[in-house]
Structure 1
Amino acid sequence: MKIGVVGLGSMGYGIATSLLRSGHEVFGADVNADAIKRLRAEGGSQADIASAANQLDALVVVVLNAAQAEDVLFGKDGLVGWLAADAVVMLCVTVAPDFARLAAQKCAENEVHFLDAPISGGSVKAAQGKLSIMASGTPEAFTRARPALDAMAETVFELGDAAGAGSAMKAVNQMLAGVHIAAMAEAITFGMTQGIDPETFIKVIPRCAGTSWMLENRAPHVVSGDFTAHSAIDIWPKDLGIVLDAARASKFSAPITAAALQQFLAASGMGLGREDDAAVAKVYARNAGLTLPGADK
């Protein structure tokens, strides 16, 4: 297949290279020209994605948020208007379910298939082609997207024949993921106040009932003092904001999610927005007068 990937950040770049390894012709687009050059050096097409749009079988969108997705797909230079009939748009961005439904409608008006396909698994699994994809869309959209899905994902959850269900499931996942990261930060710093150093924390807790995937993945970042962003702090005000907007619309109280959001907002307010989301531990450390490992780095 000829596949365009818009958004070559940590997740999108991994997706693009997984598609390349599976033999697809990949066209990359990103505001960072260096990311495009890097992809081309690894075998990506030398052609500009806009000039190749009418040849694409699939367009994978991995940008930051709904506003960027709207611009990429339907804006002044939106790609949907240039895609060939029967191409499929795979929206891998965390967005509100209502946005996914509206995007599907607009694609249909252009005779383009749409798959609501948010992703989970992090940058490492993206690069390995082992993501989990929570997908919903018409049977035709799944059929058109199948070769790309097979290259990108270890598991594809087929959640229905209409857009919106995939994004709703992603909201549930993000509710848990965001809460678990904040809880990890709270627990590891609480342990420090009780004389338990972070190194001991990650030796013990992953073997106990209080563990989580997020704890096991993020706590080592705190221990190493390396907050190079794999998933940045500033992602969470957006994602948990989506969760809370949906909860509010359903008249559903989500106080634990709201508390986690406040910690990410505090971290962003401290200037940590572009650091790894494990850096939310710095909020707790500051408030408790603690010194995290590697604080002098």
Structure 2
Amino acid sequence: MANVTVIGLGAMGGGMARALVDSPVTKMVAGFDMNKTHLENFYNDAKAANKAPSQMPNSQKESITAGTDFCILALVNEKQCEAVCFGGDDPLINSLAKDSCVILTSTVTATWARKACEKFQAKGIFMMDCPMSGGPARAREGALTMMASGDDASFAKAKDIINALGKEVYCIKGGAGMGSTVKMVHQLLAGVHICAAAEALSLAAKAGLDVHQMYDIVNGAAGASWMFQNRGERMLQAGDPEVKSALDIFVKDLDIVHAEAKALQSPIPIASSALQQFVSGQALGLGKKDDSQVVKVYESITGAPVGGEEPSTRNEKTIGEAVGEYWEVADGKLEEIKEVGEEPRHKVVLANEFVRALRVSFPPNDTTLAHRHAEDSLYFFLVEGGLDVVNHVQGADPSCDCLGFGEVRFGTHKSDKPLVHKITNKSNQVMLCIDAEVLKQPPITAAIPLVAEHHELIKTRDKCRVYKMTLEPGGSVEVTYPFFYFTVVLEGGTLQSEITANKGVPSISWKTPMQRGDVHWKEPVAGLKQTNVGASTFVMYIAEWRDPVAFHLLSLREGSRCPPDPPW
């Protein structure tokens, strides 16, 4: 296990640092940031997980100890990277030990990344040029897209740390600088798409169209893009949206695109125009606003506002509770009801004829769109320390709810009534929940509950039973699962699985590294031995899909009935 220091604990760096605290590949995670609130909050989080240094570092130099194996840079720009690495009285290059490794995740020019790598290597320090993309929520989950470049030795040294940060890790050939080149091309597209979205919605507003309807039409047609959907939604808001990515960042990133393209003599007329729109936004005082507010550059010229309340079209829209109908929320605004799988904070991660699993994740103070749950569902809440939310259920007053860490609930949205609601995250942590829809009874079920060591039956409902399997380091259990089942990892690690051999048939053994929130669908299996070969306690939920008819017959015989779960 490695000792890691993260310099820069803002939205992205703080998320990455916390993902490393959760990862089994780290022993200690230190952090430093000039913002004392960021520094103190992260230190307390790391300390709670027993992965903090003995005392909170008060300087960059204090954050680097003799045992630091990796230093991750998550800084705003190239100027900050230069100052931290090579400037001042205590530059990073003088603090790191030989054979340690720097992982550069900031967006810089390829030229700077190559020169920095040369300087570190001259001191016997490895370096990976590894910019990332994905936003704060994915940073916290360890689910970023990583664009990693460097020499083979640096790759070999840093791969476990980079894999702990990224769900999609791309190894870019050509040495340091090539990862930054890939990020540069990506940012060209991102910046152009944001400006194109602003331009299209501004044209619609000037032409007298309903821009909210225009937004819906484009998202269901060929002109849609991820940036149009994401930034367009914020362009339509009344007032200033929450800053998730500052406009200043795209001035910096597209300026890098312009400089590198000029050196390569590669024309970029569209990206250059986008850069000028963001620069115009700075001139209007929008630099610290969300980058979606480049739309105000167009508004200042056309005089036609894009953002604001959606016009009332009650005569044209059906108010109801079905998908595609509209919910009149508290302020009188009409909000279209989405199918839960179409709500952007709900991502389908597994689907077959028996189950559809959605990963629910969104940052503090964010609110989902109105959406409808129509299938009976298991909910697994996976935020350490719990999460406070406000549940806005259609037809009821908003209610506060505390979602406990490891809590499992069952919603009877098909057996009883579909749930139409919105959720606001009122905590200071990113929401993480698995919603597993129970779609169909499998061909094989079990009549009685499983009895096995290290398995605790924690929930029984007509369509499922949920067991909690806990294995301490080195612990193992051999079990037969006579049913189809769905698994959710609560506390991750590495699990070694072995299917016991029958006569004349060799045993099968494999290792699976798992992290919190990983899900799988499994078929019945006999003689499965599972061993925790990691260094920390491994906890996994095993949800048995069962025959609801048999459950009701048993309930009638025994006169028992399960109490309802809290509404969700």
So what's the TM-score if we normalise by structure 2? 0.50
What secondary structure, in the 3-state scheme, does the structure 1 residue paired with 2:245 have?
coil
Give the 5 Å matches for 1:1-297. 1-23=2-24, 24=26, 25-43=28-46, 45=52, 46-48=55-57, 49-53=60-64, 54-76=66-88, 77-225=90-238, 226-294=240-308
Q: What's the CA shift for 1:160?
A: 1.5
Q: What's the CA shift for 1:128?
A: 1.8
For 1:242-270, what per-residue CA distance to the aligned partner results, in whole angstroms no more than 9, with x for missing partners? 11111111112111011000110011111
2:499 counterpart residue number: none
Partner Cα separation in structure 1 for residue 199 and residue 257 of structure 2: 21
Q: Which amino acid aligns with 1:67?
A: K
More strand by share: 2
What secondary structure, in the 3-state scheme, does the structure 1 residue paired with 2:236 have?
helix
What secondary structure, in the 3-state scheme, does the structure 1 residue paired with 2:40 have?
helix
Q: Residues 208 and 147 from structure 1, CA distance in 2 versus in 1: closer, same or farther, beyond 3 angstroms?
A: same
Partner Cα separation in structure 2 for residue 269 and residue 222 of structure 1: 19
| Higher RCO (CA-CA < 8 Å; seq separation 6+) | 1
Conservation of the 8 A alpha-carbon contact between 1:58 and 1:88: yes
What secondary structure, in the 3-state scheme, does the structure 1 residue paired with 2:208 have?
coil
Q: Which amino acid aligns with 1:263?
A: Q
Q: What's the CA shift for 1:193?
A: 1.9
So what's the TM-score if we normalise by structure 1? 0.95
What secondary structure, in the 3-state scheme, does the structure 2 residue paired with 1:133 have?
strand
Partner Cα separation in structure 2 for residue 227 and residue 250 of structure 1: 37
Conservation of the 8 A alpha-carbon contact between 1:136 and 1:161: yes
What secondary structure, in the 3-state scheme, does the structure 2 residue paired with 1:189 have?
helix
**Unpaired runs of at least 5, structure 1:** none
Q: Which amino acid aligns with 1:164?
A: G
What secondary structure, in the 3-state scheme, does the structure 2 residue paired with 1:60 have?
strand
Percent of matched pairs sharing the same residue: 36
Q: Which amino acid aligns with 2:30?
A: F
More helix by share: 1
Partner Cα separation in structure 1 for residue 208 and residue 273 of structure 2: 26
What secondary structure, in the 3-state scheme, does the structure 2 residue paired with 1:3 have?
strand
What secondary structure, in the 3-state scheme, does the structure 2 residue paired with 1:271 have?
coil
Q: What's the CA shift for 1:229?
A: 1.5
What secondary structure, in the 3-state scheme, does the structure 2 residue paired with 1:272 have?
coil
**Unpaired runs of at least 5, structure 2:** 310-568
Larger Rg: 2
What secondary structure, in the 3-state scheme, does the structure 1 residue paired with 2:278 have?
helix
Q: What's the CA shift for 1:294?
A: 4.1
Partner Cα separation in structure 2 for residue 222 and residue 239 of structure 1: 21
Q: What's the CA shift for 1:282?
A: 0.8
Partner Cα separation in structure 1 for residue 135 and residue 209 of structure 2: 29
2:478 counterpart residue number: none
Conservation of the 8 A alpha-carbon contact between 2:105 and 2:132: yes
Partner Cα separation in structure 2 for residue 7 and residue 294 of structure 1: 35
For 1:30-73, what per-residue CA distance to the aligned partner results, in whole angstroms no more than 9, with x for missing partners? 11110001111212524325224132111110111111101111
